[in-house]
Amino acid sequence: MSPVKINYKTLLAVEGQDEARVLKKYLEFLKITDVQIENVGGKDKFPLALPTVIEAAKENLETLAIIRDAEVSQEDTLKSIQSLLKKLNLPCPDKPGVFVSGRLNVGFFILPGFQQSGMLEDLFLKSLEEHPAMSCVNSFFSCVDSLSEKPSNLSKSKTLAFLSTQKKFVNKLGEAAEQGIWDNSFVHPSFLNLKSFLENLRVSQ
Span 40-66, pLDDT tens digits: 989 889 999 998 888 877 778 999 999
Helix, strand and coil in the chain, % to nearest 5? 45, 15, 40
Q: Count CB-CB contacts under 10 A for residue 110.
A: 27
Please tell me the predicted confidence (pLDDT) of residue 177. 97
Q: How far is 67 from 23, CA to CA, in rounded Å?
A: 10
Length of the chain: 205
Among the ranges 100-104, 123-127, 146-150, which has the highest mean pLDDT value? Answer: 123-127
Residues 6+ apart with CB under 8 A from 88: 50, 51, 54
pLDDT of 54 reads: 83
Model confidence at 198, in pLDDT bands (50, 70, 90)? very high
More confident residue, 184 or 169: 184
Distance CA 84, CA 90 (A): 9
Report the percentage of the chain scoring pLDDT > 70: 97
CATH numbers and ranges of domains, the chain: 10-117+189-203 (3.40.50), 120-185 (no CATH)
Q: What is the mean pLDDT of the chain?
A: 93
Rounded distance between C-alpha atoms, residue 43 and residue 38, angstroms? 13
Mean pLDDT value across residues 186-200: 97
pLDDT at 63: 94
Bridge partners (DSSP) of residue 109 are: 67
pLDDT in tens, 5-48: 778 899 999 999 999 999 999 999 999 999 999 999 898 899 99
The gap between the terminal CA atoms of the chain, to the nearest Å, is 27
pLDDT band at 183 (very low <50, low <70, confident <90, very high): very high
Q: What is the pLDDT of residue 4?
A: 67
Q: Confidence band (pLDDT; 50, 70, 90) for 89?
A: very high
Q: 184-199 burial by CB neighbour count: b if 16+ within 10 A, else e?
A: ebbebebbebbbebbe
pLDDT surpasses 70 at 124: yes
Give the separation between CA 194 and CA 41, rounded to whole angstroms.
21
Where would I find the H helices in the chain?
Answer: 17-29, 46-56, 74-87, 120-127, 133-144, 154-163, 173-178, 183-186, 192-203
Query: How high is the pLDDT of residue 2?
Result: 54
* pTM for this predicted structure: 0.93
pLDDT at 25: 98
